[in-house]
Amino acid sequence: EWHYEKPAHSTTCKDLIIPDLDTDMAWFLGFLHGDGYVCPRFAHNGFNAHVRFAILPEYNDIFNRCRAQMERFGVRTTVIETANDRSRKLNSHSKQLAWYLSKFKTGYESINIPVEIMQGLPQIRAAYLAGLLDADGCVKNRPLAAMVSVYPDYVKQVQCLYALSTY
Per-residue pLDDT, averaged over 64-82, amounts to 95
Q: Residue 78 pLDDT > 60, yes or no?
A: yes
d(CA 132, CA 125): 11
Distance (Å, rounded) from C-alpha 145 to C-alpha 156? 13
Tell me, what's the pLDDT at 136?
A: 76
pLDDT in tens, 141-160: 665 556 778 888 999 999 99
Amino acid at 70: M
Q: 111 with 105: CB under 8 angstroms?
A: yes
On whether the CB atoms of residues 74 and 2 are closer than 8 A, the answer is: no
pLDDT at 119 over 90: yes
Q: What is the pLDDT of residue 42?
A: 87
Assess contact for 96 and 40: CB atoms under 8 A.
no
Q: Is the pLDDT reported for residue 45 higher than 70?
A: yes
Q: How far is Cα 132 from Cα 118, in angstroms, rounded to an integer? A: 14
Residue 139 phi/psi, 5° resolution? -105, 10
Q: Taking each helix axis from N to C terminus, what angle separates 23-35 and 122-136, rounded to the nearest 10 degrees? A: 30
Average pLDDT over the chain, rounded to whole?
89
What confidence category does residue 138 fall into, taking pLDDT thresholds of 50, 70 and 90?
low
Q: Do 54 and 87 form a contact (C-beta atoms < 8 A)? A: yes
What average pLDDT does this structure show over 130-146? 73
Considering the chain, what percentage of its residues have pLDDT values greater than 90?
Answer: 63
